[in-house]
């Protein structure tokens, strides 16, 4: 929930600190990459750059270990997801898109609920808008609208996507602030 609120530009106060404190104590565990993605969200939100780097190193280590289900999930989904969340938090929306777009068809392998996996769609849609990629942003918003046509959020994303700079330059792109962190 905190990630969603932050992605949409809402001030969540210091709520990330408690989450980051708890995840930081487990940063090197390498047990479940789905949790690592959530830890990265907390580290981004709390501005914990050292924890972000330590988590990336841990997930890279797990991915290269070659053994077990978690190593396979780290290679197939986890490493790109963690790096994508980190890129989004740094304001590198193009990198976030490049890292996370290939995961859309694999997200169900990652575990978690539909709502938890929807983090990919939320992050990708917002990253496409912030990157100024009108075609991709409109496509992602249209996909969301096809599933939930009455969603005010989905309609807002469609409007924001349409307001991005058109190829002929008629509209100006209005960037939004990055979520809490070191953007």
User: For all residues of the chain together, what is the average pLDDT?
Assistant: 87
Half-sphere exposure of 49 (CA within 13 A, CB side): 4
- Residue 169: which region, alpha, beta or left (left: phi > 0; alpha: psi -120 to 50)? left
Let me know if residue 152 belongs to a domain: no
Global pTM value: 0.86
Angle at 182 between CA 160 and CA 140, to 5 degrees: 25
Distance CA 22, CA 29 (A): 12
Give tens-digit pLDDT for 42-53. Answer: 999 999 999 999
CB 40 within 8 A of CB 85: yes
Let me know if residue 134 belongs to a domain: no
179 vs 74 pLDDT, higher one: 74
CB 96 within 8 A of CB 123: yes
The three-state secondary structure class of 150 is coil
Give tens-digit pLDDT for 112-155. Answer: 777 777 888 889 999 999 999 999 999 999 999 999 999 999 99
Let me know if residue 44 belongs to a domain: yes
Which residue has tokens 């047990």? 31
Let me know if residue 161 belongs to a domain: no
Let me know if residue 25 belongs to a domain: yes
Mean pLDDT value across residues 17-45:
92
Let me know if residue 84 belongs to a domain: yes
Distance CA 59, CA 61 (A): 5
Let me know if residue 116 belongs to a domain: no
The count of domains in the chain is 1
Which range of residues forms the domain containing residue 31? 21-105
In which band, very low, low, confident or very high, does the pLDDT at 20 lie, cut at 50, 70 and 90? very high
Distance CA 144, CA 123 (A): 12
Let me know if residue 39 belongs to a domain: yes
């Amino acid at each position: 929930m905190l990630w969603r609120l932050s992605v949409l530009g809402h001030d969540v106060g210091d709520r990330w600190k408690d989450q980051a404190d708890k995840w930081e104590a487990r940063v090197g565990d390498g047990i479940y990459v789905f949790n690592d993605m959530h830890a990265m969200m907390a580290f981004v939100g709390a501005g914990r750059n050292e924890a972000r780097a330590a988590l990336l190193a841990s997930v890279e280590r797990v991915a290269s270990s070659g053994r077990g289900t978690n190593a396979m999930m780290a290679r197939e989904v986890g490493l790109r997801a963690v790096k994508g969340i980190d890129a989004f938090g740094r304001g590198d929306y193009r990198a976030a898109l490049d890292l996370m777009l290939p995961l859309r068809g694999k997200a169900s392998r990652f575990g978690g609920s539909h709502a938890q996996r929807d983090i990919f769609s939320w992050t990708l849609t917002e990253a496409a808008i912030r990157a100024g990629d009108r075609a991709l942003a409109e496509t992602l918003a249209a996909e969301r609208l096809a599933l939930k046509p009455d969603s005010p959020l989905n309609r807002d994303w469609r409007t924001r996507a349409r307001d991005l700079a058109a190829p002929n330059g008629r509209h100006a792109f209005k960037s939004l602030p990055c979520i809490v962190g070191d953007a």
